[in-house]
Amino acid sequence: MNHSATDWGIVAVFATVYLGMFLGGLPRLKLDRSGVALLGAIAVIALTGLPVEDAARAVDLPTIVLLFAFMVVSAQMRLGGFYTEVTRRVGAMPLSRAGLLAALIFVAGALSAIFSNDIVCLAMAPVVARLCLQRGLNPLPFLVGLACAANIGSAATLIGNPQNMLIGSVLQLPFGGYVRQALPPVLISLGLLWLWLAFGPGARAGAAELTRPLGVDVPQDDAPPFDRWQTAKGLAVATALMGIFLFTDWPRDVAALVGAGVLLLSRRLHSAHVMGFVDWQLLLLFIGLFVVNHAFETTGLAAEAVAWLAAQGLHLTDPDALLVLGVALSNLVSNVPAVMLLLPHLGASASEAGVMLALVSTFAGNLLLVGSIANLIVADLAAKQGITLHWKQHAQTGIPVTLVTLAVVWGWMRWAG
């Protein structure tokens, strides 16, 4: 197939955008991933003369609406002090080191399945760090466990993280059906994470070697105080939405948007304050990538690449191939761009492949410290508490846990299929 100069221009923009996804920006320019995606969208619109209306139609609006709505729900819970209060109550329990690890892993995983895993890490990490320092425990296993559990737990539902929302929306996966398929490997993986951190090699190493002497005051965070009414309001909306998703066929994006609207009707929390916790940059990242990927699809090169892979015996509908490609791309360009690249080519068995892609792309985020935003949030907040979390320290848990949990996913999907 012959390709025009415009096609090759689109390819150049596409390659530059995904280089930016890999690097986290572009060299010598003050651009992050969202800025790169936005400029890429502008470039392909200008290059192709694509009408703005057509560019807008390339954006999967239900995904954007669902993502926005749950950012509002998560903001409500954070401003109500819910995440911090739950973490403090777990920390106050008379538990052993292994028991405390189990409780924190379970709480982080459960909360991340309903609310944003990034927000859960943002709220819980400072409290977990102070809790460990006050108890004389090495905080690193607990912080790594928090990040890994949040990533794993978020894969349990189609609202736990952005890539799952995208997969569920584009493939129209049933919410309850997905949970039934995803929950067993998620629970098994959380258990394996706990076993590794509690009893695995080096579980006790450095327990007495704290980065901060116990006599030094631990800085307090600026988390909002616990507000029972705001928390109850947020929990009521979240519970109602889960019920709607599980037991009705109402559009998830519309239901979530109505729930967000209910939360914005408040006499205590100003709407501007709540909206300040919405991750507008992530929404821009989605919009930009939708437009860039649509332009790339029109060149026909993506379909040619998939056909060439099929001729080599590598079919995206094959669970083994999808697992390898999902892990590789998720660690190269991040999981959301990876999912966007793979979604249009899943073929007739898109439902089963969608479940596999959701689990694989999420679990792959635990492989390296830079593999997910949740990991980086935990590392950054730990540094503010005087605790250094290096990539090597994360890899000691992240690599083995990722490999064994991916094996769980592969085995479960083979057995369940």
Examine residue 163 and state whether it is found in any structural domain, yes or no: yes
Report yes or no: 358 and 169 within 8 Å, Cβ to Cβ: no
Residue 41: exposure state from Cβ atoms within 10 A (0-12, 13-18, ≥19) = buried
Identify the pLDDT of residue 202.
61
Examine residue 52 and state whether it is found in any structural domain, yes or no: no
Q: Say whether 317 sits in a helix, a strand or coil.
A: coil
Examine residue 389 and state whether it is found in any structural domain, yes or no: yes
Q: What is the pTM of this model?
A: 0.89
Identify the pLDDT of residue 405.
96
| Residues in the chain, pLDDT under 50 | 206-219
- Cα separation, 329 vs 413, whole angstroms: 20
Q: Who contacts 391 (Cβ-Cβ below 8 Å, separation ≥6)? A: 368, 369, 370
Q: Residue 135's domain spans which residues?
A: 63-416
Q: Which of 103, 79, 153 is nearest to 362 (CA)?
A: 153
Q: What is the pLDDT of residues 99-114, one digit of tens each?
A: 999 999 999 999 999 9
Examine residue 3 and state whether it is found in any structural domain, yes or no: no
Identify the pLDDT of residue 312.
80
Dihedral (CA of 119, 412, 184, 178) sign: positive
Identify the pLDDT of residue 417.
61
Examine residue 6 and state whether it is found in any structural domain, yes or no: no
- Cα separation, 375 vs 62, whole angstroms: 27
Report the number of distinct structural domains present in the chain: 1
Q: Which of 290, 321, 417, 405 is nearest to 359 (CA)?
A: 405
Q: Say whether 45 sits in a helix, a strand or coil.
A: helix
Identify the pLDDT of residue 206.
44
Examine residue 228 and state whether it is found in any structural domain, yes or no: yes
- Cα separation, 192 vs 149, whole angstroms: 10
Examine residue 30 and state whether it is found in any structural domain, yes or no: no
Examine residue 82 and state whether it is found in any structural domain, yes or no: yes
- Cα separation, 190 vs 35, whole angstroms: 35
Q: Who contacts 16 (Cβ-Cβ below 8 Å, separation ≥6)? A: 26, 36, 40
Q: What is the pLDDT of residues 255-304, one digit of tens each?
A: 999 999 999 988 888 888 889 888 999 999 999 999 999 999 889 888 88
Report yes or no: 252 and 170 within 8 Å, Cβ to Cβ: no
